[in-house]
Structure 1
Amino acid sequence: MSQVVTLHRGWLVAIRERNDKDAFGAIYRIYWDDLYKHALRRVRNEQQAEDLVQELFIQFWEQRERLDATMNLPAYLYGILKYKIIDFFNSNKIKPQLLDLWATDLHQYVQQNPDELETYHALERLLDRELDSMPTNMKQAILLKWDKLSIRDIAARLGLSEQTVKNNISVGSKRLQQALLVNNSDSYSTLTVLAAQSITLLLAY
């Protein structure tokens, strides 16, 4: 067993059995920066990233009595952060802000890299082709979702159940992202990431 694993287990036991704030503080100091940077790369907002990591450590402390001393501590912390980021993206109040941010990113990237304009148009054509190849209900559900209609409104407009609409959007989203990946090349890398993120945000429900 490595010294790091032994150290982690000692801290976890101390926190779980003795409410040891010094052990908790050691974990906090060691992992805060990396967790914050990880969150910032995804939510792209310093205050939001800081809040997410703070919430993570609050949850970690509140659940200390259930800690498993044999667990992989870094994996556990990043696992908590992963679900907090997912909840953040699924928050209705934040979606419009994020969608505007990604759209701005795409526009700014092309402005700053005019030689990528053709690549940008190629991605647009690629997504258009994939949309056109989808069943009608799937394509319409995705386009209506892009127009920010609710699942209920889309279901009513298309005469489908809400679950069918959700299924169509989920499958269609995966198809669009897969189309980007399959046709990806080194020259597409940055734009592809931005486009994929936009699709994920636009079609989340």
Structure 2
Amino acid sequence: MTQENLLYEDWLIAIRERDDKDVFGKLYHHFWDGLYGHALLRTRDAQQAEDIVQELFIQFWEKRDRLDSQMHLPAYLYGMLKYKIVDFFNSTKIKPQLLDFWAEDLHNFAQQNSEELETYHALEQLLAQELDRMPANMKQSLLLKWDEFSIRDIAIRLGLSEQTVKNNISEGSKRLKYALLSRGIDRYSATMVLFFFIFS
């Protein structure tokens, strides 16, 4: 075990067993810049990035009694951050203009990394496959939502109740998100966020 990992283990033990706020402060300052920079890169909003990281550390402290002193601390913190960013993009806080940013980011990624285009095409294929597995009304509800039809308009077009349309969209989105996560696409974070934003 490296000296750094031994230090992290000592920190985790002190926080979990002694509620040591001084050690928590050291951990906070040690990881803040990296986590904040990562959140800012994804959200393009300094205040939202700061809020996300602040919430992460609050949650970390609140769950301190369940911490595993043997875990890989950086991986744990960045894993927490990943899910908080996904939550951000699924929330009502999201700004519509960010879609243009992520579309441009994806285009630039494809231009600069032509060898990775196969991955993008694989994601497109996965999307099509998952949609085709859905019941017709669920698939149509999602497609119409992406075309910016209101719940009411979708219900009228498909001859369904508005609640049924909402249920179809919610369940369809969950299926697509699960399919993407199960393919281990974290490496392609810009693509992941774009897709999650579209599916929200």
Change (3 A) 1:81 1:150: farther
- Indicate which of 175, 194, 202 corresponds to 2:198: 202
Work out the CA distance in 2 between the residues paired with 1:63 and 1:174: 26
Higher radius of gyration, 1 or 2: 1
Residue 89 of structure 2 contacts residue 193 of structure 2 at CA under 8 Å; is this kept in 1?
Answer: no
Q: Which runs of 5+ in 2 are unaligned?
A: 112-120, 181-187
Work out the CA distance in 2 between the residues paired with 1:44 and 1:197: 12
Measure how far apart 1:167 and its partner are. 5.7
**Structure 1 residue aligned with 2:49:** 49
Change (3 A) 1:193 1:150: farther
Work out the CA distance in 1 between the residues paired with 2:169 and 2:178: 14
Measure how far apart 1:197 and its partner are. 4.8
Change (3 A) 1:164 1:35: same
Residue 86 of structure 2 contacts residue 193 of structure 2 at CA under 8 Å; is this kept in 1?
Answer: no
Residue 137 of structure 2 contacts residue 168 of structure 2 at CA under 8 Å; is this kept in 1?
Answer: no
Work out the CA distance in 2 between the residues paired with 1:41 and 1:94: 15
Residue 142 of structure 1 contacts residue 172 of structure 1 at CA under 8 Å; is this kept in 2?
Answer: no
Work out the CA distance in 2 between the residues paired with 1:61 and 1:41: 25
Measure how far apart 1:50 and its partner are. 1.3
**Helix, strand or coil: the match of 2:96?**
helix
**Structure 2 residue aligned with 1:28:** 28
Measure how far apart 1:92 and its partner are. 2.0
**Structure 1 residue aligned with 2:118:** none
Work out the CA distance in 1 between the residues paired with 2:55 and 2:136: 43
Change (3 A) 1:35 1:195: closer
**Helix, strand or coil: the match of 2:51?**
helix
Q: Which runs of 5+ in 1 are unaligned?
A: 114-122, 178-191
Residue 145 of structure 1 contacts residue 203 of structure 1 at CA under 8 Å; is this kept in 2?
Answer: no
- Is 2:153 the partner of 1:157? no
Work out the CA distance in 2 between the residues paired with 1:195 and 1:70: 32
Identity %: 56
**Structure 2 residue aligned with 1:80:** 80
RMSD: 3.9
Give the paired residue count.
Answer: 175
